[in-house]
Amino acid sequence: MKILAIETSCDDTSISIIKVSGKKNPSFDILSNIVSSQVKIHRKWGGIYPALAKREHQKNLVPVLIKSLKKAKLLKRNLKKVEDGKFKILKKTLEREQNLYNKLKIFLKKYEKPKVDFIAVTMGPGLEPSLWVGVNFAKAISYFWNLEIIPVNHIEAHIQANFIGKSSKNLFPAISLVVSGGHTQLILTKGHGDYKIIGETRDDAAGECLDKIARILGLRYPGGPEIASKAEKYKGKNVVSLPRPMMHTKDYDFSFSGLKTAALYNFKKQPSKTKEYIRAVCFETQQAVIDVLIKKTIRAAKAFRVKTIILGGGVTANKELRKQFKAKIKKELPHSQFSIPDSKYCTDNAAMIGAAAYFHWPKDKISWRKIRARANLRL
Ligand code: KG4
Ligand code: ZN
């Protein structure tokens, strides 16, 4: 079975074709996973500017679709004539995305329906204008090609990214930690589709905190990779000390806004902001985030006696976090399994949307007329 998956929840436009073999213990073959990043456009603003993100998704979706189909060897010229009547409904579906409609119309006349079984699309959570572009695009091609849609929860997809290239056997029950730019959640995961949020951030997400501290330090957006690369160069001089908020509380919640405020005060009172000082703040910020995430996740894994600790989300692409998690689990929970996606499937991508959708097929399929974007969707 082949799935065409679409992800536009934030500032990355991504389309993937995934091939699934095996039923109970499926394996995912990623035929293509094209991610077009808008990062350069948003850098000027120091963060994501929603109206710009919407405009860019409209511009990128058709070229990304072409690249993705071509890579998966599914792009075929159309030799039949398309009835003009079909474009009326298409136009109505994309009435708020005129630019996208114009590009899609040319594409649909030129290329034939690809041999895929259904469409998967992120319905939420995320930035509302960004989500709607992806959802309306999915609606349009679903109608035009007569394919069903599986709507996908973006957070669930960050968890399901763990099944790309690996066996999904015997992982459950698990504690999943999803850490991204918008979310920091600990989720008791008893099976595919069986989730209970046991803790989450009360203010900023961990990725958001890294992005904000990077901005204070004059570093580029997104802050996570910038902080990681400066932290790596830190030579141990110029020690900076920052708090580990809520690390010892009995619950499984997080708080990162205090870390950002502490970094801001430290920065303001520092008379000379040398290279080594900036590296020291980056090192300490990264370590503070890692310490809190590891402490709470291991506590949850012990309390719920799970088999596996699963990680997912953009922040878990962090090399130091991956290394320290692995070492700590080996030491404190030697009988537990540890699962983390390949780094390219940690940050936003459509392959994980396709993998998550597979576990909902066919029971959660929805007609293109009914699907809606839901910015505040919860697991
Ligand atoms: O999952 P994601 O790509 O998008 C959301 O769903 O939000 O996560 C983006 C977040 C950003 O805050 C970014 O700074 C952070 O992930 N990030 C990293 C790294 N790569 C991305 N943080 C730390 N280290 C990294 N290597
Ligand atoms: Zn994400």
Q: What is the pLDDT of residues 322-362, one digit of tens each?
A: 999 999 999 999 999 999 999 999 999 999 999 999 999 99
Displacement of CA 198 from its chain's centroid (Å): 20
Q: Which atom of ligand 1 is nearest to the CA of 181?
A: 7
User: Ligand 1 atom 16: the closest Cα is on which residue?
Assistant: 314
Q: At residue 47, does pLDDT exceed 80?
A: no
Which pair of tokens denotes residue 208?
């958001």
- The predicted pLDDT at position 168 comes to 65
Q: Maximum CA pair distance of the chain?
A: 71
Asked whether 269 and 219 are in contact (CB, 8 A), the reply is no
Which pair of tokens denotes residue 277?
């000082």
User: Ligand 1 atom 22: the closest Cα is on which residue?
Assistant: 224
Q: Which of 125, 122, 347, 302 is nearest to 198 (CA)?
A: 302
Burial class, 369, CB count within 10 angstroms (exposed 0-12 / middle 13-18 / buried 19+): exposed
Q: At residue 32, does pLDDT exceed 80?
A: yes
What's the pLDDT band for 23 if we cut at 50, 70, 90? confident
Per-residue pLDDT reduced to its tens digit, 278-316: 999 999 999 999 999 999 999 999 999 999 999 999 999
User: Ligand 1 atom 14: the closest Cα is on which residue?
Assistant: 224
Q: At residue 82, does pLDDT exceed 90?
A: no
Going by the DSSP 8-state scheme, the letter that residue 13 receives in this structure is E
User: Ligand 1 atom 2: the closest Cα is on which residue?
Assistant: 314
Q: Would you call 145 helix, strand, or coil by DSSP? A: helix
Q: Which of 168 and 305 is assigned the larger pLDDT?
A: 305
Asked whether 292 and 246 are in contact (CB, 8 A), the reply is yes
Residues with CB under 5 A from ligand 2 (ion): 180, 348
pLDDT above 70 covers a percentage of the chain that reads 100
Measured distance CA(129)–CA(48) in Å, rounded: 12
Which pair of tokens denotes residue 191?
């099976």
**Radius of gyration over alpha carbons of the chain, in Å?**
22
Measured distance CA(41)–CA(237) in Å, rounded: 35
**Protein residues whose CB sits closer than 6 Å to any atom of ligand 1:** 10, 180-182, 207, 210-211, 222-225, 228, 313-315, 317-318, 347-348
Q: At residue 370, does pLDDT exceed 70?
A: yes
Q: At residue 169, does pLDDT exceed 80?
A: no
Mean pLDDT of 131-135: 98
- The predicted pLDDT at position 40 comes to 87
- The predicted pLDDT at position 269 comes to 96
Scan for tokens 């959708």, then name that residue.
357
- The predicted pLDDT at position 12 comes to 95
Q: Could you say which ligand is closest to the alpha carbon of residue 347? A: 1
User: Ligand 1 atom 8: the closest Cα is on which residue?
Assistant: 314
Q: Give the domains, in start order, of the chain with CATH numbers.
A: 2-158+348-358 (3.30.420.40), 171-341 (3.30.420.40)
Give me ligand 2 centre to Cα 318, in Å: 14
- The predicted pLDDT at position 48 comes to 86
Displacement of CA 46 from its chain's centroid (Å): 19
Give me ligand 1 centre to Cα 34, in Å: 18
User: Ligand 1 atom 7: the closest Cα is on which residue?
Assistant: 181
pTM: 0.97
Ligand 1 mutation pick, 180, 204, 213, 348, max ligand atoms within 8 A of CB: 180
